[in-house]
Amino acid sequence: MRSHFNLVVLLIVLTASCDTGKLTVIADLPSSLKETSAIEVTKNPELLWVIEDAGNKNNLYALNREGAIIKDIDIDNIQNIDWEDLTSDGDGNIYIGDFGNNSKKRKNFAIYKVTDPKNIDTSTNAHVISFTLPKKIKSKDFESFFLYNNAFYVFSKDHKKCKLFKVPNTIGDHVAEFISEYKFEGKYKKVTSADISDDGKTVVLLTHDKLWKLTNYTSDDFFNGTIETIKFEHDSQKEGITLIGPNTVLITDEKTKNEGGNIYSFSFD
């Protein structure tokens, strides 16, 4: 998320429970979207962007604040191998992280740039930023990333140690740079989404039952600072997170049986 938006922030201020662990439902996700894997807010205050993961359409969706689909953009030139997260830049361009890898056999990963999606009606082509991992690192599963200082920071979905990689925001092929790793504790350790604040001072990482707040880091080694665990009073398959203020996020989860499939707000200190 690249900007703070008055209308969305007003909604959160009115509904969120601050620092209690309680998530507040602000909208249902459309029933047609079975496996929403990310959420992103750009400089347009009215739109909440979402995608679905593997086995679903090559489509980028814009929702209004009531959760209804108001844009359905088909990305014509690429395939949804396993879309897992979204990020954006200050110009309102959206980036799709196609780097899910449950089998741990995938060697080539991609990030797709969708230029100015708010002005696209029904379909477009995306620019492709592709990357592989350094030779000495085994294939990893990824579900989270963000854009910071014109580079992507991609976090592995790993039960042992979460690994952080850097990929330049440049069209073409790249070898990701390994930055660092960190061993998280708790029942759920696998990071499913990530974001960074506009001022670059706070990183949030999402799991099913908590978020980790990273601050006081130096340079782009986000694991070398202060790491706080903020638990939710709610356990579901949470897949998407986006910061809409210094201490406020929107979160999505997948619908399983009779629970989930919502957009939540959450505020923290």
User: Tens digit of pLDDT for each residue in 47-61?
Assistant: 999 999 998 999 999
pLDDT digits (tens, 9 = 90+) for 169-220: 999 999 999 999 999 988 899 999 999 999 999 999 999 999 999 999 999 9
Strand pairing class (193-196; 262-267): unpaired
DSSP state of 218: B
What Rg value do the Cα atoms of the chain yield, rounded?
A: 17
Which residue type occupies 216? N
Q: pLDDT > 70: what percent of the chain?
A: 93
Looking at residue 158, its pLDDT comes to 92
Q: How confident is the model at residue 14 (pLDDT cuts 50, 70, 90)?
A: very low
Per the DSSP assignment, residues forming a β-bridge with 182 are: 162
pLDDT digits (tens, 9 = 90+) for 216-241: 999 999 999 999 999 999 889 999 99
- Non-local CB neighbours of 186 within 8 Å, separated by 6+ positions: 207, 209, 210, 229
Which residue type occupies 224? N
- Non-local CB neighbours of 13 within 8 Å, separated by 6+ positions: none
| Distance between start and end Cα atoms, the chain | 19
Q: Is the pTM of this model over 0.95?
A: no
State the DSSP H helix or E strand holding residue 6, giving kind and residue range, or none if neither. Answer: helix 6-15
Find where tokens 């356990």 sit: 235
